[in-house]
Structure 1
């Protein structure tokens, strides 16, 4: 048995009542993934980052109901003290920055391949079957569609019944979007890519994880990672439609939280440029002048950048041949900090790794 996991799934969360039944959903999703990987004999790990634990509630890691032993799957929890969160603008209005939280897990992940995932999502059996082949290409990033499922009764099922129910339930697919030709960026499947972008650990480390955001918003960081990886040479592979990641529908899905904010002068300028010049001129103005900015529901103190400035501008430059420069420092993912780490489920491959002699220095 290999002493290194083949794949790491990195997720994040906190026990703050984010949505009704959140703890139960995270427990069910984590247990389901661990069983899928164990049944498929995939040496693997699930890394759960508890970011900025809520002071008035038990740790999420303490209330999760998951197995504590597995032959092939390790589950680790990493606790990030609130002091790191309160460095960010908007920290008092939102308790989590998903990009920074995932970076903590990615930096410490031990797998040859790594993908972030939301804490309450479930993969179709076909995804695990693909990974179980253990023939992933280190220069390829793998993508699948997310399917949003609103039927709450399905999410109460367990084990094989859950997977069967999700596979037959009505769903809304988040498939690849046709990007505006004005953007002049690579044709990549970035829609809901934060729920599954599987690529070699070496690429994640070259990128230094997700782009730095000094606010709690973490807008576009998943899409930026894909385009930056492509600029460094990674190819995209979209797995067949049967390969899915299922997500429960709730009011905090990203597209339900983000709205554009227009100023009157921006509306006037947009109309003038479209009338007198062209759509291209209007697009260039959006990138240069950073509008329309974006508001994330519940975070009123921070106005996020426009998608044109934050995402399209760098992605366009990278598509033209410019190489990305990491925005994160060398100690990205709080690598220099001693964070509390807990073993929630120990795998047999970990025992092999622990028994191996340390090479003489």
Structure 2
């Protein structure tokens, strides 16, 4: 009984000596693949799509040499003739439409799985051995690093000698994190905007190795078929698969893919030059801005963009096919090595719909080889990354990229906070392994199940923003590094603890914190992540998360009969800001008040109409601002009178939420009070001396030098 091949290798080319010495490179590819299929008993087929074959040269299958037989790999050539090629707009400038050609082969593949690849590669024995086993899975896209080797791989040598040569002569490694040139020591980092970086996909050299089930290829309708130069279309395919819920699996060393170097190859150090050359020839190339726009659209909508129609891969065209080698499989063929692949050989990143998304915020990347506490943090991150999707946001970058590089190799996505970054650092000193981002952008592009803050100090910077941007996130604070002597040395730390849904701590720290915050939700873990119980305990915590609590403690709410004078600093100016609506103007007015009011000499008290509160008081709690909620105008007037009576400020101003204040407005206002003897304290009962909204915009009020 004839069985279908397990795996279809799909490549495309034409006999035009692309890059120089092409037939030599392709002969090495063909000989190596056929030999390895027999060696590892991989039931396969090789499909070569010969696109627009030159009329003055023989077809590829005639130009190459073939063995008399092969018991494990069928070889099929499919021709796309010049008359089809010339229907494309840029046919006179592009002799080969690589991705459309690959779609032709993918659409006609017979294998259960399909590997889109190139015809100038060698596969390591470990890689073919893995592919030969019965453990490839649907709903998973497999990727691997590409190793570039010199063009003089010995043609007549055995596959073992060729692989030995490749292993000893690697020029550069194209990994998910970077392209690293071993001879020059230069590296080119791989990252993008949040919509791209947060996928954690292995885009680098993905056109050489993208493996999925045939059903998944058909579900996505193959590569986008655009009339343009091919770079970045393969990366766009990965994004489409990701947003369709297809997981990524990265095949690890000792599995290797070797690419034979040649002129015109798409390599990191020449990519920009090649794109410019094509643009100078008026050949369209998918721009990074367009790529990012589609990435954002798919991220925003939570679904892929399927660009092709049902005729993808020229399905309606009858194309000439030539079978060079034909084999049939009788019965069940067993692999030479029946041992199961260990999980360590494949690093899997889950799709958006599975596992938990965790954001860890730290002062800087963990310096695991310098600071023991940092090493503990690194080990914790490593544990979490083995089971969940982990993103690290750091406030301070470092010159040495090895710390971020190591995290990224563990599957961690790394960003640095632009606002938190120290200003004195020059842009060149920022690690190229991490993408710049602001918090609002990060939460806009990714929903986080858990936010883990490295310390209460870090929590003090971020807990308010997290509560506002992502109320569904469970907030955890790590208290392992807390010193009992300064555990609650300022209100910000105390507030951070009270706002957290959970605190992680060792036993001694937990006992101390509970003595201060008896209602704190503390989970006790061993202090060192190297303890076997730490990993089990940490994963148990993540599997039993509490519901995020709206922790509006009303610590800063004021009442008519209770204005805590003792808690208010004596200031020159007290401002009662009356909020009667939540229009965009009111929001902008409140924002200018926050940003442009000096904390040392002015105090703002918010009076909020209860009918429009709707979360305003929660925001003010997080900003440590005092507020009063009134039901009617009488309560508002009574409150303002009590403020005037009880506050120790020299001046009091009443403002409504239509006022937009400039920088230093309060200092200039106080100076104007001091110089203008006709204006005194403002009160609702003294309208003739009120500093009203019309007068506030008078130029002489703001122009007083201070």
TM-score range with shorter-chain normalisation?
0.7 to 0.9
Structure 2 residue 53 is the aligned partner of structure 1 residue 71: no
The CA deviation at 1:61 is 1.7
Q: What is aligned with 1:259?
A: 272
Contact 1:90 1:301 in 2 (8 A): no
Per-residue deviation, 1:299: 7.0
Identify the residue that residue 137 of structure 1 maps to in structure 2: 137
Match of 1:325 in 2: 305
Of 234, 242, 251, the residue aligned with 1:239 is: 251
Q: 1:301 & 1:181 partners in 2: Cα distance? A: 27
Residue in 2 aligned with 1:315? 295
1:64 Cα deviation (Å)?
Answer: 1.2
Q: 1:305, CA displacement in angstroms? A: 3.7
State the TM-score, normalizing by the size of structure 2: 0.43
Match of 1:359 in 2: none
Question: Where do residues 206-225 of structure 1 align in structure 2 (5 Å cutoff)?
Answer: 206-215=219-228, 217-225=229-237
1:113 CA displacement: 0.7
Shift of residue 297, structure 1, vs aligned partner: 4.0
Q: CA deviation at 1:319?
A: 3.0
1:252 shift after superposition: 1.1
Distance in 1, matches of 2:156 and 2:68, equals 22
Matched, 1:194 2:207: yes
Task: Tell me what 1:286 maps to.
Answer: none
Distance 1:296 1:106 in 2: 30
Match of 1:203 among 211, 216, 235: 216
Structure 1 residue 166: deviation in Å? Answer: 1.1
Match of 1:119 in 2: 119
Q: Distance in 2 between matches of 1:326 and 1:79?
A: 26
1:25 and 1:120 in contact (8 A); partners too? yes
Assess if the C-alpha contact under 8 Å between 1:72 and 1:347 holds in 2. yes
Structure 2 counterpart of 1:4: 4
- TM superposition shift of 1:67: 2.1
Query: Which consecutive unaligned segments of at least 5 residues does structure 1 have?
Result: 262-293, 353-361
- Between the two proteins, the alignment pairs up a number of residues equal to 318
Query: Residues of 2 paired with 1:351 and 1:107: CA distance?
Result: 27
Please name the residue that 1:25 is paired with. Answer: 25
Taking the TM superposition and a 5 Å limit, the aligned residue runs for 1:296-311 are 296-297=277-278, 300-309=281-290, 311=291
Determine the C-alpha separation between the residues in 2 that align with 1:260 and 1:321. Answer: 34
Equivalent in the alignment of 1:349: 329
Between 162-171 and 328-337, report the one with greater CA deviation: 162-171
- 1:57 positional shift: 0.8
Q: Partners in 1 of 2:330 and 2:222 — Cα distance?
A: 25
CA contact (8 A) 2:150 2:260 kept: yes
Q: Secondary structure at the match of 1:341?
A: strand
**In structure 1, C-alpha distance between the alignment counterparts of 2:32 and 2:217, rounded to whole Å:** 26
Change (3 A) 1:245 1:158: same
1:36 aligned counterpart, secondary structure: helix
Task: Indicate conservation of the 8 Å contact 1:231/1:321, yes or no.
Answer: no
The Cα of 1:258 is off from its aligned counterpart by: 4.4
Compute the displacement of 1:183 (Å): 4.3
After TM superposition, the structure 1 = structure 2 runs for residues 94-173 of structure 1, keeping only pairs within 5 Å, are 94-150=94-150, 152-154=152-154, 157-173=157-173
Per-residue CA deviations over 1:201-221 (Å, capped at 9, x if unaligned) read 111101111001123x12311
Distance 1:21 1:152 in 2: 10
Separation of aligned partners in 1, 2:303 and 2:120: 34
Quote the residue 1:228 is aligned against: 240
Residue 106 of structure 1 aligns to a residue whose secondary structure is helix
Structure 2 unaligned runs (5+)?
A: 178-189, 333-706
Alpha-carbon shift at residue 347 of structure 1 (Å): 1.2
**2:135 & 2:282 partners in 1: Cα distance?**
47
Deviations 1:94-133 (A, max 9, x none): 3111101100000000111111111111111111011111
Structure with greater contact order relative to length (CA < 8 Å, sep ≥ 6): 1
Quote the offset at 1:72 in angstroms.
1.4
| In structure 2, distance between residues paired with 1:88 and 1:252 | 23
Give the Cα–Cα distance (whole angstroms) in 2 for the partners of residues 226 and 3 of structure 1. Answer: 30
Q: 1:159-186: per-residue Cα shift (whole Å, max 9, x none)?
A: 2211121122233100113413444541
Contact 2:5–2:44, Cα closer than 8 Å, also in 1: yes
Distance 1:31 1:52, change over 3 A: same
> Contact conserved, 1:89 with 1:302, CA < 8 A, in 2?
no
- In the alignment, is residue 250 of structure 1 matched against residue 230 of structure 2? no
- Tell me the TM-score normalised to structure 1 length: 0.82
Distance 1:314 1:63, change over 3 A: same
> Deviations for 1:72-112, whole angstroms, at most 9, x for unmatched residues?
11010001101222222332223111101100000000111
SS of structure 1 residue aligned to 2:76: strand
- Written as runs of structure 1 = structure 2, the 5 A alignment for 1:74-93 is 74-93=74-93
Segments ≥4 residues shifted beyond 6 Å: none
Q: Deviations over 1:28-85 (max 9, x none)?
A: 2112111101211111101001000011111112111122422111010001101222
